[in-house]
């Protein structure tokens, strides 16, 4: 019996349910039991099922070691409700399951849930196609565009290339493009989505994320309006945490250093903790929002020991899609949870459960949840919140790699120049008639022709380099000889065509260091001894 990692993709929660069901049916030990003077074969007790399933979930990389025994009991109750198991009399659905010696068995019918066939991926209508702003090959290729400029020019239609060479100077003909606010918002959104798509390893996010719920203004706000600690600052304080909740959270995070004006009595910290949890559960929806539920469920597939850095980057990007008020609440909650769980001076907040486990299981439901109850919501939320709390400082900070990519792309687009010579005379005051730039398209060539052009272009570049080495007046003779020797070793054919063998012999003789005449006239002197 082997456990499979459910990779990101549509209907991941359903696939996880089927995977747990498969493992349970394949591995749960069955034996003969006696109950009420009757013998039942191929069955198991509820307690045995809880113990076996609890161990399975804790060791499964899709769920992790934070799964509690009570959560395992809740999962088995859902198994009974969905007819994954039944009691030995064949009853299921309305029956309840407790952690006791009641006997259960597997039904003969298949309990696996059907996975709907995903609809063909199509480009969302909300994303506008802007050929003047988007690179056909992707957003991150623009950094190397100058490097390949010569090779690209080789593939341009000769007619278009001739017309391009006859254009006037850049200063007169190519004004710089002005980016609108909408253009910049599109760049922030599309680069973020492209990064996230690459990290998740999927060809499209359409099946796990509705593009209508991706607001570029949220991304910009969450990355630019933060305090020195990286926490989002809200312009509209109405959506912020109430003052009394902030005071309670600060009191718990800084325990036992709190405001002396606050009351102090045995169990006070438990009452404050309950006040904070009650507030977060009173919110209309979880902090990660219903709209982004499927996306975060898919990120859970990256929470493997060897993929920790990738999972952190994915969660960095996903949390940027949150409304600023939700992101701020999530940041403050995770900071409080992390500090409480690490505070050795904090009194025990629960008589049985440890502080860290209590933090994870108390707040998992108000962090992640689906609009329609999912059978694995509680287990999946526990796994995600545990990882968020342990890495909250990295995950909820502004991702510098994304900010750098966006700034570079915006700067690149602002320096691109648009040809206007061929634009017809249009009345600029007409709101319908807007002048558009003229685009030249490349002529498609065969693979053999491309290789030939590439080799010719490379040889031409090497010949130019050799010419510089031979004619550069600012280079010392020592450096020239050294670099020419290296060039001859790497490119002997090009070197032999430019520097014939006769020239090389002559240069070698001319460049040979001359020995001063006095050194040739030194005679061997007769050795003598100082002894007589």
* Element of type H or E holding 268: helix 268-281
* Element of type H or E holding 270: helix 268-281
Residue 112 is assigned to a structural domain of this protein: no
CATH code (residue 21): 1.10.10.10
| Crossing angle of helices 400-415 and 181-200, rounded to 10° | 130
Same domain, 222 and 302: yes
Kindly report the length of the chain: 532
Q: Are 131 and 183 in contact (CB under 8 A)?
A: no
Same domain, 189 and 266: yes
Q: What's residue 323's pLDDT?
A: 97
Q: What's residue 283's pLDDT?
A: 95
Q: Where are the alpha helices (DSSP H) in 282-368?
A: 293-299, 308-320, 324-342, 355-367
Q: Give yes or no for a cis peptide into 256 (omega within 30° of 0).
A: yes
CB crowding 68-90: b at 16 or more within 10 Å, else e: beebbbebbebbbbeebbbbbee
| pLDDT confidence band for 420 (50 / 70 / 90) | very low
Residue 158 is assigned to a structural domain of this protein: no
Average confidence (pLDDT) over 496-513: 62
Residue 395 is assigned to a structural domain of this protein: yes
CA distance 393 to 231: 10
More confident residue, 303 or 420: 303
Same domain, 99 and 191: no
pTM of the model: 0.66
Same domain, 219 and 357: yes
- Classified as helix, coil or strand, 274 is helix
CA distance 484 to 476: 12
CA distance 134 to 115: 36
Same domain, 240 and 101: no
10 Å CB burial of residue 336 (0-12, 13-18, 19+) is buried
Q: Domain total for the chain?
A: 3
CA distance 316 to 327: 11
Same domain, 374 and 463: no
DSSP 214: -
Same domain, 470 and 327: no
Mean pLDDT estimate for the chain: 78
* Element of type H or E holding 86: strand 86-87
Does the structure show a pLDDT above 80 at 154?
A: no
Q: Closest Cα to residue 453, out of 152, 180, 43?
A: 152
Does the structure show a pLDDT above 50 at 100?
A: yes
Average confidence (pLDDT) over 304-325: 91
Q: Are 192 and 219 in contact (CB under 8 A)?
A: yes
More confident residue, 148 or 266: 266
Residue 527 is assigned to a structural domain of this protein: no
Residue 475 is assigned to a structural domain of this protein: yes
CATH code (residue 360): 1.10.555.10
Does the structure show a pLDDT above 90 at 497?
A: no
Q: For the ranges 18-32, 143-157, 244-258, 292-306, which has the lowest average pLDDT?
A: 143-157
For the chain, what is the largest distance between any 2 Cα atoms, rounded to a whole number of angstroms?
A: 130
Does the structure show a pLDDT above 80 at 177?
A: no
| pLDDT confidence band for 266 (50 / 70 / 90) | confident
| pLDDT confidence band for 302 (50 / 70 / 90) | confident
Residue 263 is assigned to a structural domain of this protein: yes
Same domain, 238 and 345: yes
Q: Are 334 and 392 in contact (CB under 8 A)?
A: yes
Same domain, 467 and 329: no
Average confidence (pLDDT) over 426-453: 48
Does the structure show a pLDDT above 60 at 530?
A: no
Q: Rank 106-110, 176-180, 472-476 by mean pLDDT and report only the highest.
A: 106-110
Q: For the ranges 89-98, 111-120, 423-432, which has the lowest average pLDDT?
A: 423-432
Same domain, 200 and 285: yes
Q: For the ranges 153-162, 345-354, 412-421, 430-439, which has the lowest average pLDDT?
A: 430-439
Q: Where are the alpha helices (DSSP H) in 108-175?
A: 149-154, 158-165, 170-173
Q: What's residue 522's pLDDT?
A: 46
> What pairs with residue 86 in β-bridges?
105
Q: Are 318 and 222 in contact (CB under 8 A)?
A: no
Residue 272 is assigned to a structural domain of this protein: yes
Does the structure show a pLDDT above 70 at 392?
A: yes
Q: For the ranges 58-62, 238-242, 401-405, which has the lowest average pLDDT?
A: 58-62
Out of 63, 81, 105, pick the residue that ends a domain: 105
Q: What's residue 501's pLDDT?
A: 67
Q: What's residue 115's pLDDT?
A: 77
Domain encompassing residue 25: 12-105
Q: Closest Cα to residue 131, out of 368, 445, 441, 446?
A: 441
CA distance 177 to 132: 10
């Amino acid at each position: 019996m082997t456990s499979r990692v459910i990779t990101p993709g549509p209907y991941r929660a359903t696939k996880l349910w089927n995977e747990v069901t498969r493992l349970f049916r394949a591995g749960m030990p069955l034996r003969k039991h006696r109950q009420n003077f009757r013998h039942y074969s191929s069955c198991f007790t509820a307690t045995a099922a809880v113990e076996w399933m609890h161990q399975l979930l804790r060791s499964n990389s899709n769920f992790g070691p934070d799964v509690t025994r009570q959560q395992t009991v809740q999962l088995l109750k859902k198994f009974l409700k969905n007819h994954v198991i039944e009691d030995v009399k064949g009853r299921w659905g309305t029956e309840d399951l407790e952690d006791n010696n009641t006997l259960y068995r597997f039904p003969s019918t298949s309990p696996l849930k059907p996975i709907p066939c995903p609809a063909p991926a199509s480009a969302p209508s909300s994303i506008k196609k802007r050929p003047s702003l988007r690179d056909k090959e992707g957003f991150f290729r623009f950094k190397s565009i100058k490097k390949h400029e010569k090779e690209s020019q080789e593939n341009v239609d000769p007619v278009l290339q001739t017309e391009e060479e006859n254009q006037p100077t850049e200063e007169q003909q190519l004004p710089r493009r002005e980016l609108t606010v909408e253009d910049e918002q599109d760049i922030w959104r599309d680069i973020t989505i492209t990064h996230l798509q690459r990290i998740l390893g999927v060809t499209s996010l359409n099946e796990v994320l509705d593009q209508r719920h991706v607001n570029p203004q949220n991304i910009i706000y969450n990355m630019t309006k933060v305090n020195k600690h990286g926490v989002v600052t809200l312009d509209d304080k109405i959506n912020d945490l109430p003052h009394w909740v902030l005071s309670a959270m600060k009191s718990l995070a800084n325990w036992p250093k709190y405001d002396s004006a606050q009351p102090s009595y045995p169990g006070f910290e438990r009452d404050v903790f309950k006040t904070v949890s009650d507030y977060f559960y009173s919110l209309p929806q979880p902090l990660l929002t219903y709209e982004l539920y499927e996306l975060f469920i898919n990120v859970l597939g990256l929470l493997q020991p060897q993929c920790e850095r990738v999972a952190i980057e994915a969660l960095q990007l996903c949390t940027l899609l949150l409304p600023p008020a939700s992101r701020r609440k999530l940041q403050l909650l995770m900071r409080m949870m992390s500090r409480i769980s690490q505070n050795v001076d904090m009194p025990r907040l629960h008589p049985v459960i440890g502080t860290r486990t209590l933090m994870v299981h108390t707040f998992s439901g108000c962090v992640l949840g689906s609009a329609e109850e999912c059978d694995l919501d509680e287990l999946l939320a526990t796994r995600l919140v545990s990882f968020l709390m342990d890495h909250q400082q990295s995950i909820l900070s502004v991702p510098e790699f994304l900010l750098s990519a966006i700034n570079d792309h915006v700067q690149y687009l602002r320096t691109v120049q648009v040809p206007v010579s061929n634009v017809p005379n249009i009345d600029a005051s007409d709101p319908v008639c807007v002048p558009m730039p003229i685009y030249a398209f490349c002529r498609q060539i065969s693979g053999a022709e491309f290789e030939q052009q590439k080799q010719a272009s490379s040889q031409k570049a090497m010949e130019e380099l050799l010419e510089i080495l031979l004619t550069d007046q600012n280079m010392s003779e020592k450096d020239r000889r050294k670099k020419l020797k290296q060039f001859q070793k790497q490119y002997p054919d090009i070197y032999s065509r430019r520097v014939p063998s006769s020239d090389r012999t002559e240069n070698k003789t001319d460049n040979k260091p001359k020995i001063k005449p006095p050194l040739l006239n030194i005679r061997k002197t007769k050795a003598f001894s100082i002894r007589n």
